[in-house]
Amino acid sequence: MVRRTRQCRNCAVVLTVLAMSLTQIARAQTVTLPVRSEENLLIVQVFVNGRSVNLILDTGAESTFLSPQAAGISNAVGVTRLKSNAQIAKSMSRNAAISLTENGSIFSQPVIVVDLNDLNKKVGCKCDGILGQDVLRHFRAFTVDYKNNTVAFTR
């Protein structure tokens, strides 16, 4: 009798853990975006302050960088060029409202505003910034599907 009671308790614990896990899976939200490859860089279209921008998906970048135009700065005086870590520290920082989709959830994120003209010339494509780890950490996972040219962000 005591043994059967323990087995029932163990089953109840297992069922509770399973139910909690299934609830977490059901709550997981995944947003899938088209991604294009230019010069071996992955470019995604997201929304910053309500405007569509093209950002390089860079898992090696600690921070997110935006051009003055993408950050909504009309007067770019004082914005430095992206060259070194020392210059990054001197760059202009501001909060930006970032969303993966036009009507998706928005989160406020500090970004670094830099002149990306030299970067665009070097990589041979026009991008509005770099999507770094500080934004990617808001998601549990992201998966690049090269065959279908998509990237899925899961919260």
Asked if residue 66 is part of any domain, the answer here is yes
The answer on pLDDT for 43 being more than 80 is: yes
The answer to whether the beta carbons of residues 114 and 81 sit under 8 Å apart is: yes
User: Of the candidates 38, 67, 50, which has an alpha carbon nearest to the alpha carbon of residue 131?
Assistant: 67
What pLDDT, on the 0 to 100 scale, is given for residue 136? 94
Mean pLDDT (whole number) for 78-98: 64
What pLDDT, on the 0 to 100 scale, is given for residue 104? 84
The answer on pLDDT for 21 being more than 50 is: no
What pLDDT, on the 0 to 100 scale, is given for residue 55? 96
> What pTM was computed for the model?
0.74
The answer on pLDDT for 89 being more than 80 is: no
The model's pLDDT over 102-153, given as tens digits with 9 standing for 90+, comes to: 888 888 889 988 888 888 888 888 899 999 999 999 999 999 999 999 999 9
Asked if residue 142 is part of any domain, the answer here is yes
Percent of the chain with pLDDT over 70: 71
Asked if residue 124 is part of any domain, the answer here is yes
Total count of domains within the chain: 1
> Does 17 or 126 have the greater pLDDT score?
126
Q: Which domain holds residue 90?
A: 29-154
Mean pLDDT (whole number) for 49-66: 93
Asked if residue 117 is part of any domain, the answer here is yes
Please report, for the domain that includes residue 107, its CATH number: 2.40.70.10
Asked if residue 15 is part of any domain, the answer here is no
